[in-house]
Amino acid sequence: MRGALVEVRDLTWRPFGRREPALAGISLQIEPGSRVLLAGPSGSGKSTLLRALAGVLTSTETGDLTGSVLVDGLPSAGSSVGLMMQDPADALVAGRVGRDVAFGPESFGLPRDQIWSRVRSALASVGFPYDQAHATGALSGGETQRLALAGVLALTPGLVLLDEPTSMLDPMSAAVVREAIMSAVAASGATLVMVEHQLADWVDHLDRLVVLDHAGRVSLDGPVATTLAKSTDSLVAQGVWVPAVTAPRWLDVALALCAPTLPSGLGGLPPGVLVSAESVSVTRQPHASVMSANRPVGAVQALLDVCAEVRAGECVAVIGPSGAGKSTLTALLAGVEGPSQGRVCGRGELLAGMGGSPPEAIHRWTSRDLAARFGWVPQQAEQAIVGRTVRDDVLSTSRRLGLDDDASQARVDGLLEVLGLTALSGADPHHLSGGEQRRLALAGAIAHGPSVLVLDEPSVGQDRSTWSAVAGVIVAARDAGVGVVLATHDPLLIALADRRITLQAGRVLDLGVNSQPLPAPDAVAMMNEPAGRYAGLASRSGPLSLLLASIVLVLGAPFIFDLRTALIAMGVQVALAPVVLGVGPPSWRRLLPCLFAVASVSFSNWLLSPGREVSSGALAGLRVAFFVVPGVLLASRIDPSALGDHLGQGLRLPARPVVAAVAALHRFEGLGEHWDQLARIRRVRGLGPGRSPLGRGRSVAALTFGLLIETLRQAGRMAVSMEARGFSAAVTSGRRRTWAEPAPWLPSDSLMLALALVVAGLPVMLSRM
Amino acid sequence: MAKPRNTLFSTQTAKRSRKARATVLAARPLMRWRGVDLITAAMLAVAFGVVFWGFDTFIYPVLSLATANFPPAGELMLGVWLIPAVVGALVIRRPGAALFTELVAANVELFLGNKWGAAVLLSGVLQGLGVELVMALFRHRRYGVVVAALGGVFSAVFEIVLYEWQSYVADFSGAWKAVYLGCGMVSGAVIAGVGGWLLVRALARTGALNAFPPGQEVRESQVA
């Protein structure tokens, strides 16, 4: 096939609520098969232009759109365009690799055999290392990025749009992804438009450079090499990272803006140790999951036997490939997470001013004690927002600590100025761009004068000038006596550090000492049925019959009018249990809550029945037990993804709501982790709940609100990504969605449903006798 | 894309009341849900599922022990579970939004392993239908605090009269059943209705609902 011709005519887009357009009169003609690099300062509308080219701009945003985008002479939509967004995790819609890639072909209604041939060729073209049954939750960042690319290529688009495809990756993974992109595009001949901040690695692969300016206009357009050579100065002035131009120097920042409030260990030699981690290991247990069939049972070893120190007036860089444990180690050193083994302790000057006898391990300190001494910026900086306005956000820890207000206000204003946020000081932090939010999080972490500053990827998404400001704050903090920890891939920041800790697969890599064989990165095992044991009729039944069986029992329960009926019905259920559920002990984790519920129903019905009859209580309890006990046990056998397939095919429910619900269910674990992260942020900012019930209630309310905001933003990004893969194609084209996997109704399903009908009918029959 | 357009919201707003702010409605036809409507409703439901999981695990057992001597008081917490239906309706503003959101939230509880088994799905349907009924009575044109509170009340009535009276409290005396229903209705009105309405307003002010009618209302009130 050949690439698509793209014609953009006078495209202008002004989102509602903004005075100035984000895209202002853009006209471009992109020839079939050409490869275009889209660059420009942060906030210049690059991602917006990509979404406009994909025809999904108005699917989640509102505003005035004028002009036209034509792809091969037609309005941009449908399977001719593939869009890959910045964070590949936003594109995940399924629990298994194969089904995830199949999403686009399913949406466009391809027959099943074609779906799977598309999936195979797409995975092969990105060099995907695992088979189609691999769990999407067990992939590294680079693998997820390649999976998202395969999801785009499965549509065989004539136009491929990529938004910063390697910005979240370490150099090695980035090279692999770059290779996958270039070979896949070369093989298909598709037209490529790509947004990228770091030009150096791409210029050899691309043939045209289009630069947007702050006003959302095309400021430069031409062949890559000549344009870069001709307009170096103007590009550098706009903050573009032009290859082979000297790296920017850090900004000189007044030390007073970054100095610790508490006495620092500076002055003594050797520099005082503030925090020491003594052979710490972290083993992560899987989060509570709704995806019973894909639940990983293995714990993941994130760190193993690591020692590290943070010293006053020293900057230490934690480096290593993605997934090596950098974020985990920094979270330990910031006291927001505790190790599974070993300990992380405060030392020397850091303990000054702590009343009583504080716990040794810093993760047990009170929120206030921790906040007074630590500042932390997490990798996902937008999670760090705690205030209603930018200025309010930066001030909040100082206020909570009761620091002198005039001085802290002056310090906050100084930091906002340095980090280029003064004009935004009254704005809602949620409205900031990604790069701005990261600088805001840095300001909030240092404004109250902590002695230890821990930063996870502080320079991502910064252009040349904002990079200088971020580096300036880091250097000034170090020089003022703060102990700084940086987890980063950025070679320019690594060069600023005094010391390095290199991690690989959770261990410190000692140069010169050959380390033992490292554990396999994929430590997540899949759940398997224990072999040899009869697993019951339920394990041979599809999700639909299990669900219907549970519901039928609910409907039978109200016909239980006397104890005799209740006891007979329960007796039959107990007798059938081994046949339906298999041999072996029941899952007490699932059974205990519902037994508790049965007991409480018994008690309350006894208490409030006319005449307080014991039999009323017993009857009420048994009536509830009749449907909740089997219902809970059957529900634990249902795989939500399979249920979606069956609801869409077997029951012919409308496909889009079913698909949306299944995709959302896959986000459950991620949202749970987000909740934990929000709680960590609030603790290190001094906003932890404290001990009073009121404080705890307020904290839960704040966390819930934060979780909902993130949920809505994630839903918007998912919607763009799913629409770009044809989620709503059936609505516009009238072609029905197809399903990659069949959903047969088997004889065992009929048997299961028949059994349930008999059991549910028992009370009706017995009450007539 | 030839001329300025706004595909997301209906240009026709509901009849302007004496109050300055007009109600923004979803784009017609009302039954044609956008992709982002479906995904957002489902994601909100899953997020509420996360919160409910914490509530069920850590808070509810304590509260239910505290109200053990007066079981109807436990029903004062019912409104918490009705919030997804009210919030779904207020955010999406299309027929079926309350039902879909509440049903997905019920599915989360089911798959996590809750104590009521598949009965949560039945509850979810009834709770969602209660809110749907109120929204339909107002012809999908009114989304104020009173409508939200009424939605919460009807959601509670459907849940209690059609399900809980038959199952959990079937052997209560008539008077106690009435008290139980009253507690549920108050909770539905206050926690789900007023609480859900306040929550949607607060979310809209952060800009997180910009793609939905409540976000558009906030922007229009800022322009005015």
Look at A704 and B69; give whichever has higher pLDDT: A704
Q: What is the full DSSP assignment across A151-214?
A: HHHTT--SEEEEESTTTTS-HHHHHHHHHHHHHHHHHHT-EEEEE-SB-TTTTTT-SEEEEE-T
End-to-end CA distance of chain A: 74
CATH code: domain of residue A48: 3.40.50.300
pLDDT of A77 strictly over 90? no
Chain B residue with the nearest C-alpha to that of A715: B40
Q: Please state, for a pLDDT cut of 70, what percent of chain A lies above it.
A: 93
Candidate from A326-335, A343-352, B208-217 with smallest mean pLDDT: A343-352
Q: Parse chain B into domains and list their residue ranges.
A: 42-58+72-223
Band of pLDDT at residue B2, cut at 50, 70 and 90? very low
| Best A16, A626, A712, A723 residue to mutate vs chain B (most B CBs within 10 Å) | A712
Contact A431/B50, CB-based, under 8 Å?
no
Which of A8-12, A105-109, A200-204, A341-345 shows the lowest mean pLDDT across its residues? A200-204
Cβ contact B206–A292 (<8 Å) = no
Tokens 């299944």, residue located: A662
Instruction: Mark whether A231 and A278 lie in a shared domain.
Output: no
Which of A148-152, A486-490, B14-18, B95-99 has the highest mean predicted lDDT (pLDDT)?
Answer: B95-99
Range in A544-558, A582-596, A737-751, B67-81 the model is least confident about:
A582-596
Give me the interface pTM, i.e. the ipTM. 0.91
Assign A697 a pLDDT band (cuts: 50, 70, 90). confident
Question: Domain check: are A227 and A259 in the same one?
Answer: no
Euclidean distance between CA atoms A597 and B74, whole angstroms: 13
Tell whether the torsion through CA atoms of A163, A167, A173 and A175 is positive or negative.
Answer: positive
Asked if A547 reaches chain B (Cβ–Cβ under 8 Å), the answer is yes
Nearest Cα to Cα of residue A413 among A404, A423, A427, A403: A423
**Cβ(A314)–Cβ(A272) under 8 Å?**
no
How many helices (H) does chain B have, and how many strands (E)? Answer: 10, 0
| Residues A229, A115 share a domain | yes
Quote the percentage of chain A above a pLDDT of 90: 43
Contact B171 A705 (CB under 8 A): no
Q: Are residues A681 and A762 in the same domain?
A: yes
C-alpha to C-alpha distance for B211 and A60, rounded to whole angstroms: 5
Task: Determine whether the interchain pair B208/A709 forms a contact, defined as Cβ–Cβ distance below 8 Å.
Answer: yes
Nearest-by-CA chain A residue for B162: A558
End position of a domain, from candidates A237, A265, A293: A237
- Mutation for A interface: B36, B37, B203, most A CBs within 10 A: B36
What secondary structure does DSSP assign to A533-571, as a single string? S---HHHHS-HHHHHHHHHHHHHHGGG--SHHHHHHHHH
From chain B, pick out residues whose CB is under 8 angstroms from the CB of A613.
Answer: 171
A62 at B interface, C-beta within 8 A: yes
pLDDT at A118 over 60: yes
Classify residue A515: in a domain, yes or no. Answer: no
Q: Measured between CA atoms, how close is B193 to chain A, in angstroms? A: 17
Q: Is residue A341 situated within a structural domain?
A: yes
Average pLDDT score, chain A? 86
Q: For A546, list phi and psi in degrees, rounded to 5.
A: -65, -45
pLDDT bin (cut points 50, 70, 90) of residue A528 is very low
Q: CB under 8 Å to A355, separation ≥6 — which residues?
A: none
A609 and B CB contact within 8 Å: yes
CA atoms within a 13 Å half-sphere pointing along the CA-CB vector of A648: 24
Interface of B with A in 135-154 (CB under 8 A): none
pLDDT of amino acid A558: 86
The H-or-E segment that residue A50 falls in is helix A46-54
> What is the chain A residue with the closest CA to B177?
A608
Distance CA A665, CA A490 (A): 35
> Within the 73-112 window of chain B, which residues sit less than 8 Å (CB to CB) from chain A?
74, 100, 104, 107-108, 110-112
Last residue of a domain, one of A508, A525, A548: A508
Least confident of A412-426, A435-449, A515-529, A589-603: A515-529
pLDDT score, position A707: 93
Do A173 and A266 lie in one domain? The reply is no
DSSP H or E run through A395: helix A390-400
Residue A287: per-residue pLDDT: 62
| pLDDT the model gives residue B4 | 40
Domain co-membership, A299 together with A429: yes
Give the pLDDT score at B184. 96
Q: Which chain A residues touch B166 with a CB distance below 8 Å?
A: 557-558
Instruction: Provide the mean pLDDT of chain B.
Output: 86
Inter-chain CB proximity B207 and A431 less than 8 Å: yes
CA distance A149 to A379: 23
Each residue of B121-169: pLDDT tens digit?
A: 999 999 999 999 999 999 999 999 999 999 999 999 999 999 999 888 8
CB nearest to B46's CB, from A587, A594, A668: A668
Does B62 contact chain A (CB < 8 Å)? no
Does the beta-carbon distance from A671 to B50 stay under 8 Å? yes
By Cβ distance, the residue of B47, B64, B207 closest to A707 is B47
The parent domain of residue A72 ranges over: 6-237
Helix, strand or coil, per DSSP, at residue A508? strand
- pTM of the complete model: 0.88
The pair phi, psi for residue A22, each rounded to 5°, is -80, -35
Report the greatest alpha carbon distance in chain B: 68
Over the stretch A535-551, which tens digit does the pLDDT of each residue have?
A: 788 888 999 999 999 99
Q: How far is CA A750 from CA A491, A755, A757, B25, in A?
A: 62, 9, 10, 45
Q: Which residue has the tokens 């909770």?
A: B187
Chain-chain contact of B117 with A632 (C-beta, under 8 angstroms): yes
Chain-centroid distance, C-alpha A244: 34
Give the HSE-up count for residue A385: Cα atoms under 13 Å, Cβ half-sphere: 23
Side chain identity, residue A669: E
Return the structure tokens found at A113. 């055999």
Cβ–Cβ below 8 Å for A430 and B206: yes
Tens-place pLDDT, residues A261-291: 876 544 444 558 899 999 999 987 766 666 6
Cα–Cα dist A394/A403, whole Å: 13
| A599 touching B (Cβ < 8 Å) | no
Contacts of B68 in chain A (CB under 8 A): 600, 603-604
In total, how many domains does chain A have? 3
Strand pairing category for A300-311 and A273-284: antiparallel
| Encoded amino acid at A696, one letter | R
Partnered with residue A84 across adjacent β-strands are: A162
Q: Which residues pair with A219 in a beta bridge?
A: none
Taking CA atoms, what residue in B is nearest to A718? B39
Does the pLDDT of residue A595 top 70, yes or no? yes
Q: Which of A66, A624, A635 sits opposite B4 (nearest CB)?
A: A66
Residue type, B40: T
Q: What residues form DSSP beta bridges with A344?
A: A277
- Residue A293 in tokens: 């069939």
Give the pLDDT band (50/70/90) at residue A516.
very low
pLDDT confidence bin for A78, thresholds 50/70/90: low
Q: What confidence category does residue A529 fall into, taking pLDDT thresholds of 50, 70 and 90?
A: very low
Same domain, A219 and A341: no
Q: How far apart are CA A654 and CA A656, in angstroms?
A: 6
Confidence bin at B180 (pLDDT 50/70/90): very high
What is the model's pLDDT at position A608?
82
Please state whether beta strands A208-212 and A300-311 pair in parallel, antiparallel, or not at all (unpaired).
unpaired
Lowest mean pLDDT among A28-42, A231-245, A651-665, B53-67: B53-67
CB A375 within 8 A of CB A453: yes
B1 vs A: CB within 8 A: yes
Measure the CA–CA gap between A206 and A160, rounded to whole angstroms. 13
Q: What does the block give as tokens for A131?
A: 């088979």
What does the pLDDT read at residue A83? Answer: 92
Helix axes A141-153, A112-125, angle to 10 degrees: 130
Q: Does a structural domain hold residue A591?
A: yes
Whether A620 is in a domain gets the answer: yes
The pLDDT tens digits for A715-765 are 999 999 999 898 988 887 778 899 999 999 999 999 999 999 999 999 988
Give the span between the Cα atoms of A375 and A491, in whole angstroms. 23
Q: A318 in the Ramachandran plot: left (φ > 0), alpha (ψ -120 to 50) or beta?
A: beta
User: A474 and A538: one domain?
Assistant: no
pLDDT value, residue A13: 92
Cα–Cα distance, A698 to A23 (Å, whole number): 41
Alpha carbons A546 and A756: distance in angstroms, whole number: 9
Q: For residue B41, which of B83, B100, B81, B96 has the smallest C-alpha distance?
A: B100
Q: Are residues A228 and A269 in the same domain?
A: no
CA distance A554 to A627: 5
CA of residue A400 relative to chain centroid, distance: 29
For A229-268, b where at least 16 C-beta lie within 10 A, e where not — what string?
eebeeebbebbbbbeeeeebebbebeeebbbbbeebbbee
**B contacts of A292 (beta carbons < 8 Å):** 111
